[in-house]
A and B are shown apart, each in its own frame.
Chain A
């Protein structure tokens, strides 16, 4: 049973426009949500996170929105740049007993065209 789902395998956007990546979860015990970015032949790198007590967190061009009632979060990238082309993973943490374990979604391949 996939507790974290990214239903869009890929997304293509034009440079300068907004990229919106979506993620759904089923486990109500998750209390932190994280986004990771992965380039080919590299390990995932942390991008941004949000606590379940917030509904928005912003860091430069990246904003994560959390809708707890819908068990849905999204990552907005504005404006999108060609260097943002990568695989994006949504992940969730059960903070109370996480021990550094995260549950990941399947990933979304973002392609930003010049």
Chain B
């Protein structure tokens, strides 16, 4: 049971480049989400999904796109990378329920030069 798997672990981009961060979960969780972690800011929600075909914006969605074609996968796309997107990105999944307990992947450290 792998849980939540993120790839790549590290990535360096130049300003304007695009890329996709991959996320997959094998726990059959309904909900999936993307967070970014910045110093002094905690974790902030980028986008989330409540099921295949359904996505919505979080607190900091600008510059990012998501889609969810299957229960297992929830990729995050950076269309035109900016230095402000330098951060650590975490994918998470959870089952339905009021507690909202999240299971996180190991993260992707992204640097945009």
Chain A interfacial positions (CB closer than 8 Å to B): 4, 6, 9, 31-32, 34, 41-46, 49, 51, 89, 91, 93, 95-96, 98-107
Contact = CB atoms under 8 A, between A and B. Distances in A.
A98 B43 contact: no
Nearest to A99: B50
Interface stretch (B12-20, B75-83, B90-98): B90-98
Q: Is the interface of B mostly helix, strand, loop or mixed?
A: strand
Contacts, number: 80
A107 B94 CA distance: 21
Contact of B107 (A41, A51, A105): A41
A9 B30 CA distance: 34
B58 A44 contact: no
Interface of B: 4, 29-33, 35, 40-45, 48, 50, 58, 90, 92-94, 96, 98-107
Closest 10 CB pairs of A and B: A95-B98, A100-B31, A93-B100, A43-B104, A100-B94, A98-B100, A104-B42, A104-B43, A106-B42, A32-B99
A96 B97 CA distance: 9
B100 A32 contact: yes
Nearest to B10: A41
A46 B98 contact: no
Contacts of B103: 46
25 contacts: A6-B42, A32-B98, A32-B99, A34-B100, A41-B106, A43-B92, A89-B42, A89-B43, A93-B98, A95-B99, A98-B98, A99-B31, A99-B48, A99-B50, A100-B31, A100-B32, A100-B33, A100-B92, A100-B93, A100-B100, A101-B45, A101-B58, A102-B43, A104-B35, A107-B42
